[in-house]
Structure 1
Amino acid sequence: MQEEKKTLGESLNRFGRISRPANVVLTAFLGIMTLLSVIPFILVIVISFSDSEMILKNGYKFIPEKFSLEAYQMIFADGAVFKSFGTTIFITVVGTLIGVFLMSTFAYTLSRRSYAYRGFLSKYSIMPMLFSGGMIGNYIVIVNILGLRNSIWSLILPLAMSTFSIMILRTFYQMSVPEALIESAYVDGASEWTIYFKIILPLSLPGLATIALFLTLGYWNDWFSALLYIDNNQIVPLQYLLMKMETNIEFIANNAGKMGLTTTGALPTETIKMAVVVLSTAPILIAYPFFQKYFIGGLTVGAVKE
């Protein structure tokens, strides 16, 4: 019997291996794809620190002829960017926490086969994926019914729930959390909240981290909500502020002659565009490695003894 198990294990190991030539080819291919993804962003960073006149004269180069902080000095000139950074960080952190809590609890409810209204709530949550109220309907609800115009909550609540993320978490609970753990907790007298916080959440870190990353990207990159609901410059998020700055500078540069201006030719329009990309992307690139360590499976392997 042991010999049969050993033979089966060896055959499975051989099945999962790849040959050395194939390994070299795959490594080279993935390395090339990685470079093709990273090199453009490196070029963007270099351009953002380059002198605008040299770029207009000689074009883009990986090694700039002259370094300059002019683009960043113009962006950070009046201090509005720092306020927007704080607003965006608050929106991202609070929105991610609220979204993860709401979607994880709702998905846990849908994953329980014993719950009486599971079918109704599943259909109710899937409906918005098929039929949307549209932008006008969303605007009426947020502004007229909820009264959240010029409120920071108008940037948080609309993105806090996602049917797609709920379905991902529901499937994760069903596939990764053994029913035997929940049943044994019931036998020991644990309540639903105790089961959720002490059993479900610790075993669901990969799924929760994935949803948290989706929410973080959504909140950090969101500018359209501010365009619809925010007129107060004190709570404008970073993405919307950077987009307005870039649009205004480009408009002034393109219409300098009509406006009777003579010094706008020195405006670093190209470097400002690249600086905007760096400022809007760098925080996400820094935060991503902290989420990636949870993108693994098998946390529940061995949780239930056979």
Structure 2
Amino acid sequence: MRRAYGNRREQNVKQTQGDRIFDFINISLLLSIAALVLYPLIFVLSASISNPIHIVSGDLWLWPKELTFVGYKRIFENKDIMNGYGNTILYTIVGTALNLVLTICAAYPLSRRDLKGRNLITALIVFTMFFSGGLIPTYLLMKNLHLLNSMWALILPSAISVYNVVIMRSFFQNSIPNEMQEAASIDGCDNFRILTRVVLPLSMPIIAVMILFYAVSHWNAFFSALIYLSDRDKYPLQLVLREILIQGQMQDMVDMTDDTLVKKMMEVEAIKYGVVVVANLPVLILYPFLQRYFVKGIMIGALKG
């Protein structure tokens, strides 16, 4: 213990003035970036539970003033928002599951050394990243397949991401020893059992990254719904919020029996910030559970190979 203390003390003594200046600048820079990231989040949360008059007058800077939950009350009373919430959860779960299965099915064979022509197949797949059919041909295809105004019009066109396939293929190639797969093959495992019993249990970091990428993409998607959906009951949350925030339809959420127009406009302001919190809260809750896998998976999958 005394020797360890001496080693730490020696390391502290060896730290030069330049090292201390660098640490100070580095820590200051990181704290500044953290403040820039956290301030908008805290402000929006505070604004959603504050008296809207402080928001309009500019008195609110960081912490909430005169707590009120009228915005959230109006939000949860609005059937379009709650219906959109349920649709988005459904689209995200089904879409992410399909994305993950197809990405694994594409990436694993391309990572195998015994697949003939895998480099050519990879090149053909990557080619689609730079050239696509475009919006109009895709719309006509969805129409001919009778998928318009259905959930599958939002999920199938983005069922697989070439970029994510390349990342996962690189992870399989560089992080899963080929000797383990050969040993499993000698023990009598076929390719499917090697994938499910050897490769996937060792691939949790990259699987977590894929889940986060695909889930966030589905959660934030609104353009596909804007193009393919015509039934309001099938609108995802983001499309409902777009109408609320951009097209000024918050007046429908305000109780028209209120006494003054000013009070109605105050409620509209509270609703505006409340819907931002409601829309982003699930993603913010999901990220901490995947964070420990995220950095490792994205670094190994993207930088190697």
TM-score using structure 1 length? 0.81
Q: How many Å apart are 1:56 and its aligned residue?
A: 2.1
Q: Does 1:160 align with 2:166?
A: no
Q: How many Å apart are 1:46 and its aligned residue?
A: 0.7
Matched residue, 2:303: none
Q: Do the aligned residues in 1 keep the contact of 2:39 with 2:62 (CA within 8 Å)?
A: no
Q: Secondary structure of the equivalent of 2:68? A: coil
Matched residue, 2:47: 47
Q: Does 1:62 align with 2:56?
A: no
Aligned ranges 1:1-306 → 2 under 5 Å: 21=20, 22-23=22-23, 25-144=25-144, 146-249=145-248, 263=261, 266-267=264-265, 268-295=267-294, 297=296
Amino acid at match of 2:219: W
Q: Do the aligned residues in 2 keep the contact of 1:249 with 1:269 (CA within 8 Å)?
A: no
Residues 18, 139 of structure 1: CA spacing in aligned structure 2 closer, same or farther, 3 A cutoff? farther
Amino acid at match of 2:289: F
Q: How many Å apart are 1:265 and its aligned residue?
A: 7.0
Q: How many Å apart are 1:154 and its aligned residue?
A: 1.4
1:251 and 1:274 mapped to 2: Cα distance? 12
Deviations along 1:240-271, one digit per CA (max 9) or x if unpaired, are 11111223436869xxxxxxxx8377323433
Residues 176, 67 of structure 1: CA spacing in aligned structure 2 closer, same or farther, 3 A cutoff? same
How many residues are matched?
A: 274
Q: Do the aligned residues in 1 keep the contact of 2:250 with 2:268 (CA within 8 Å)?
A: no
Amino acid at match of 1:263: L
Q: Do the aligned residues in 2 keep the contact of 1:53 with 1:266 (CA within 8 Å)?
A: no
Deviations along 1:108-142, one digit per CA (max 9) or x if unpaired, are 11111211242342122112111121111221122
Gapped runs of 5+ residues in structure 2?
1-10, 253-259, 298-305
Residues 200, 18 of structure 1: CA spacing in aligned structure 2 closer, same or farther, 3 A cutoff? farther
1:115 and 1:63 mapped to 2: Cα distance? 59
2:196 and 2:120 mapped to 1: Cα distance? 25
Identity of aligned residues (%): 34
Residues 248, 130 of structure 1: CA spacing in aligned structure 2 closer, same or farther, 3 A cutoff? closer
1:151 and 1:251 mapped to 2: Cα distance? 26
Question: Which range moves more in the overlay, 63-72 or 148-157?
Answer: 63-72
Q: Secondary structure of the equivalent of 1:156? A: helix
Deviations along 1:144-172, one digit per CA (max 9) or x if unpaired, are 2x211111111222222001001111111
TM-score using structure 2 length? 0.81
1:58 and 1:98 mapped to 2: Cα distance? 46
1:289 and 1:63 mapped to 2: Cα distance? 24
Q: How many Å apart are 1:80 and its aligned residue?
A: 2.3
Gapped runs of 5+ residues in structure 1?
1-13, 254-261, 299-306
Amino acid at match of 2:213: F
1:127 and 1:63 mapped to 2: Cα distance? 50
Q: How many Å apart are 1:18 and its aligned residue?
A: 8.4
State the Cα RMSD in Å. 2.5
Q: Do the aligned residues in 2 keep the contact of 1:246 with 1:272 (CA within 8 Å)?
A: no
1:188 and 1:131 mapped to 2: Cα distance? 43
Q: Do the aligned residues in 1 keep the contact of 2:209 with 2:290 (CA within 8 Å)?
A: yes
1:59 and 1:128 mapped to 2: Cα distance? 51
